[in-house]
Amino acid sequence: MLTLKNQFSDREELVAYVRSLAPWAEGRQSIILGGRQQAEIKLHTLDPIAYATTRNYGDGSVSRLSPYIHHGVLSLNEVRNHALILCKQPEQITKFIQELAWRDFWQRALSQNPEWAWKDIEPYKTGFNAEAYADLLPEDIAQGRTTVGCIDAFILELLQTGYIHNHARMYLASYIIHFRRIKWQAGARWFLQHLLDGDVASNNLSWQWVASTYSNKPYIFNLENVDKYFGKQVDTTAKHNRVLDASYEELHLQLFPNVRLKV
Amino acid sequence: MTKQPLILLHEESLRNSHPIFLFAPKETQVIYVWDDEYVLRSGYSLKRLIFIYETLCEMKVDILRGSTRDILQEISPSVVYIPTTNNGHLLEMIRSVEKFFPVEMVEDEPFVNLKKTMHYKRFFQYWSKVEKAASLQQGGQNA
């Protein structure tokens, strides 16, 4: 048994030390720092009231607390208690509390049903059975070289920082499962490799929700939607995102030809 | 030598105020095991491992490298306190510890308390039951 070092002169030294412990681990360090001090700094910049109206936008007031919550650095209880202090009425922050509740829900759901972590909870509602989906994540997705502009931007952010906006996670999951017809498990495994907040319950059950194996219909999106919410952050030109540049009706016909569109 | 209790932290419980520190007797040794087999199996990228390590460095915990089972056999604790988790890899590790030592699992503080058990199938069924408590300090437990 070897006691490992816990004091370093700077972050570079710590990074080199961890790399020496796990030379097989891919990639580099994130700009996002671990630790309770960083968690408290982020907690004190929280704006749960603005979250209600801006959370879906790439530059919205999202908390970015999830890496700290996943590692137990902050408890959901502590974050909720702090958010309540920042408002006059709890109704002002219902959306934020609901977001915390989603995490609590995922945890409870997986604890009650451990097999849901990797097995389809329900059949796909896409007109295809599970066998129609590929098992492995293609290399162009893993490297962020799909040639779909906004998708590649989201992937590179994931690979570099280990964090992407929740809305971007849904776009990526939908692209992988429905536009590329790859099993949700392949995407979920890849997210767990990279996301600093990668949590089997929240991550895998969200992938199942997008896939439609844990919801009533598949989640899809189009370029217009990405442009509305992330137009300032990523390339949303039609020229670089052709596969996404269509109406929802057109995409539905193209992606799920065996399922009649409900109007 | 008298056997002593031990707190075994894992990657989902990295907080000095976790209830496990009140649950276990005072002065209980706290360890985090850097288990190469577990780390390799997790498939985590370097940035995830660095985030965990940075967090550990701010805590009062001995970071020990080796196989979890071998390290525990060397320490030979009277009881091992472990924070609850639903992570399959961690649960496997915990089951392997349970074969050799008494284990007490300790829950983190709750977001809300649900008195009745329910089937966690769709979020809004759950939300309709917890919304009121979730919007109160301490999940309404002080009310």
The answer to whether residues B13 and B40 belong to one domain is yes
Residue B1, in any domain of the structure:
no
Distances (CA, A) of A246 to A121, A168, A242, A253, B1: 30, 18, 8, 11, 73
The string of pLDDT tens digits covering residues A223-245 is 999 999 999 999 999 999 999 99
Which chain B residue has the Cα nearest residue A85? B137
The answer to whether residues B49 and B80 belong to one domain is yes
Q: Residue B64: which CATH number?
A: 3.40.50.620
Residue B126, in any domain of the structure:
yes
The answer to whether residues B54 and B77 belong to one domain is yes
Whether the complex's predicted ipTM surpasses the cut of 0.90: yes
The answer to whether residues B97 and B139 belong to one domain is no
Q: Which of B40, B55, B87 sits opposite A200 (nearest CB)?
A: B87
Measure the CA–CA gap between A202 and A105, rounded to whole angstroms. 9
Which residues of B are less than 8 Å from A114 in CB distance? 86, 88, 91
Which residues of B are less than 8 Å from A21 in CB distance? 34, 36, 39, 49, 65
pLDDT the model gives residue B143: 47
CA atoms within a 13 Å half-sphere pointing along the CA-CB vector of A61: 15
The answer to whether residues B80 and B11 belong to one domain is yes
A71–B12: do the CB atoms touch at under 8 Å? yes
A 27-56 residues inside an 8 A Cβ radius of B: 27-30, 32-37
Residue in A107, A111, A125, A104 with CA at minimum distance from that of residue A208: A125
The answer to whether residues B115 and B97 belong to one domain is no
Residue count of chain A: 263
User: What are the tokens at A148?
Assistant: 């779909």
Partners of residue B106 on adjacent β-strands: B83
B135–A84: do the CB atoms touch at under 8 Å? yes
Q: Report whether pLDDT(A263) > 60.
A: no
Can you list the positions of beta strands (E) in chain A? Answer: 2-3
The string of pLDDT tens digits covering residues B26-66 is 999 999 999 999 999 999 999 999 999 999 999 999 999 99
The answer to whether residues B76 and B119 belong to one domain is no
Q: Please give, rounded to a whole number of angstroms, the shortest distance from the CA of B78 to a CA of chain A.
A: 19
The answer to whether residues B15 and B84 belong to one domain is yes
The string of pLDDT tens digits covering residues B79-128 is 999 999 999 999 999 999 999 999 999 999 999 998 778 899 889 999 99
B46–A28: do the CB atoms touch at under 8 Å? yes
Burial A133-160 (b: 16+ CB within 10 A, else e): beeebeeebbebebebbbbbbbbebbbb
pLDDT the model gives residue B122: 87
Domains held by chain B: number: 2
CB A3 within 8 A of CB B62: yes
The answer to whether residues B92 and B124 belong to one domain is no
Which chain A residue has the Cα nearest residue B132? A90
A194–B70: do the CB atoms touch at under 8 Å? no
Residue B117, in any domain of the structure:
yes
User: Pairing relation of β-strands B29-34 and B62-65?
Assistant: parallel
Q: Which domains does chain A have, with CATH numbers?
A: 11-112 (1.25.40.80), 130-255 (1.10.579.10)
Question: What's the mean pLDDT when you consider all of chain A?
Answer: 97
Which residues of A are less than 8 Å from B21 in CB distance? none
* Domain span holding position B125: 110-143
Residue B96, in any domain of the structure:
yes
Rounded to 5 degrees, what are φ and ψ at B66? 150, -175
Q: Is A77 on the interface with B (CB under 8 A)?
A: yes
The answer to whether residues B128 and B81 belong to one domain is no
The answer to whether residues B114 and B98 belong to one domain is no
The answer to whether residues B118 and B102 belong to one domain is no
Burial B71-88 (b: 16+ CB within 10 A, else e): bbeebebebbbbbbbbbe
Distances (CA, A) of A76 to A45, A53, A81, A98, B48: 16, 21, 8, 11, 21
Q: Please give, rounded to a whole number of angstroms, the shortest distance from the CA of B32 to a CA of chain A.
A: 10
Residue in A131, A140, A203, A200 with CA at minimum distance from that of residue A166: A203
Which of A19, A32, A65, A77 to probe the B interface (max B CBs under 10 A)?
A77
Whether the model pTM is above 0.90: yes
Query: What 8-state DSSP symbol labels residue A59?
Result: T
